[in-house]
Structure 1
Amino acid sequence: MSQQPVLLPYADPAFVADPFPLYRQLREDGPVRRAVIAGGLEAWLVTRYEDGIVALSDPRLSSDVRDASDPRLLQRLPATERESVLRNMLRSDPPDHTRLRRLVSNAFTARRVAELRPRVQAITDRLLDAIVPVGHADLVEDFALPLPVTVISELLGVPVDDRHDFQRWTDDMILQGAEPPDPARMDAAWRQMHSYLIRLLEAKRARPGDDLLSALIATRDEENRLDEDELIAMAFLLLVAGYITTVNLIGSGIAALLAHPDQLQMLRKDPALLPGAIEEFLRYDGPVSPGIARFAREDVSIAGVTIPRGATVLIASAIADRDPARFSEPDRLDITRQDNAHLAFGHGIHYCLGAPLARLEGQIAIGTALRRLPHLTLAVPPGELRWRPGGLRGPERLPVTFTSGNPN
């Protein structure tokens, strides 16, 4: 392509708060655009829905960062543990991906996730019990964050006292902004996480419990289908992927409702709209932005544009999910939207394994908050909300006030 790469201005607070005007312009400019993304890396953005569907199903586009020609992508992974990190299913392709995914897929079926509903509800109620009497809260720090952390920790068997540490290490490793991440900070966090996972897996091996990590250890030890690096990488992925995107879903969903009082009132009056509302939050302002990275194994043509071998391809789900060729009035939040096959969870063989759990947590968290926090209102002007810059999108804080009694 002849165009110069467009810079996604993550240093601009206005863009971080609302990237969608620029996203819309990029989509209108063409189906594939070169761009400089978070951390100064260059990628080819696939901006339209139908092209995104095709790209996410194309085996020539790899999930393995070792297929990338830009050495900075590997260099920015934790220096001493790159090989172990790369052996999780998020960064692998068939046949390894098929084998790894099969080992954990039973824990995330719709039926198994539905069995977690009473426990998710109990955790949600406990968190709200602590803030209801106060009349104000940060719904990220006090609610949206501890809920999925607790759920995934219980599912995996992480001790209560260890959860704050793994959350802090995860934040140091994956929450990036406009500037390149601090390698020393990332390496330190990964070394701490890696050492912790080794100790945790040793403890589970000595005293197995009724949890997913114990089950994975049994698979590794008895059937020899996971080697030690794969076991550590799987534990890492499940812990990390199991919470941060759900935090963003809950935070962004509540923020969207507060910015659209008509939709908030509609959902309060009819809680049966919740499942569809969750899908609309995911489409309208999803937890991953601008999208999902792949790496070209060979020269690939997308929408008539040739992308060279080794290039980073970003299937821009946040842009494609507002494609007017696919969604009617795409910039309008509509919790009653029916045909809503968004790309927030991806598509194809890498479709998010935890999607049923994220949906369940989102429905219970947002539905219960609306029921138990009447007269819910932002405690700051909307323009003062701070959003995470780059890669993972959601409000950093969500200060609100509320009262007791029944909502209007």
Structure 2
Amino acid sequence: MQMTSEDLIEVTEFTWPKGYDADSTHAGLKPDQDDMGWIYSEEPADAAGVYTTNQFQAAPTKLTKQTINLAHKLQAVVMNAGNANSCNGSQGETDAIMMQKMAADRLQIDPHMVGIASTGVIGEPLPMAKIKAGISQLKLTKNVGVTKAILTTDTHPKTITVKCLIGGKVVTTTGFCKGSGMIHPNMATMLGFVTTDAAIAGNDLQQLLSATVDETFNQITVDGDTSTNDMVVVMANGAAGNDPLKETDSDYPTFVVAFKKVLTHLAQEIAGDGEGASKLVEVNVTGVYDHLEGQQVAKAIVGSNLVKAMIFGEDGNWGRIMQAIGQTTAHVDLDGVSIAINDLQLVKNSLGTGIDDAEVSKTLNQPKVTIDVDLNAGQASGTAWGCDLTYKYVQINASYRS
């Protein structure tokens, strides 16, 4: 690929960055799809991670956090769907360590260079014979099947590749994730993996990841629940050949924009693929006292079951948006709030504009619904993403284990 400095950032067809391999296989954890996979860097990579805040943090999540925190280095991540290995006590912790060791032995690297990730049903022992068989089948290929092997109730893989020019070198950053239900800040029932061939120190990568997750994955919600297994892991192996990135570098902002584009896209993909969802919902709040309040209000609106049901029913009942705003502690001009849905202004100066209900219903029939709110209380803003609440959501979760 030829790039010039004018190109800066480009979204391309999904591909692995330089120096990475990946593969997937069917280990029998799920009946009809690949359910195990890995990603592998030819050279040890700098690494960073963020993890669920649920008090019942699953054994694989806890172990990966411990592993990355040793030196912010990883060379591989092995993952499975169909079983979360969560709430399994000391046996779950032993099985997580064994899964890590099996992958390390297969790759002939140190176990402390392997992260592990699991997703699926909570409280069922990890079937180690199937895990062992699955790991034995994984190869070092450029297979993209791993993007499907982590899916649970997702309807499709969620992927993106972004290229940018750093120090005259083309840097590729690729991300994929899963997540559909049990999604609420902090993070989701999600596993997210980002690989890049950029050179950036692990501590700097950690700082960038944590800040970017706050603006992306922590601003999505589907059902108000936080999983035991959530994590996002990033590996940076330096194979692009750029000098290690620092905040003071002139090219650093370019990498930050490319990196945020990857995480933003994945976050929106998760929100739009919420269990049973028919619409992606984006909430943009302006006129806010500070950014934190903007994020709080946007999240409150997109997370309100009344708002979500309103959008599913294609009913322009803007009072539900007002009540969601009022439940927060944000500064609000009580006589100066404006609300628009897909550019149709429903509220001005906290009063209804009298717009025709049929016109509102028509715009709510779109696959993406954008709610713009002005609190008239400052200069800051905030954004969050979610989806509508449908009959299908209840159907899926009423029979999740069957």
TM-score for both structures, normalised by structure 1 = 0.25
By relative contact order (CA 8 Å, sep 6+), the higher-ranking structure is 1
Q: Radius of gyration: which is bigger?
A: 2
What is the TM-score normalised by the length of structure 2?
0.25
**Which of the two has greater helix per residue?**
1
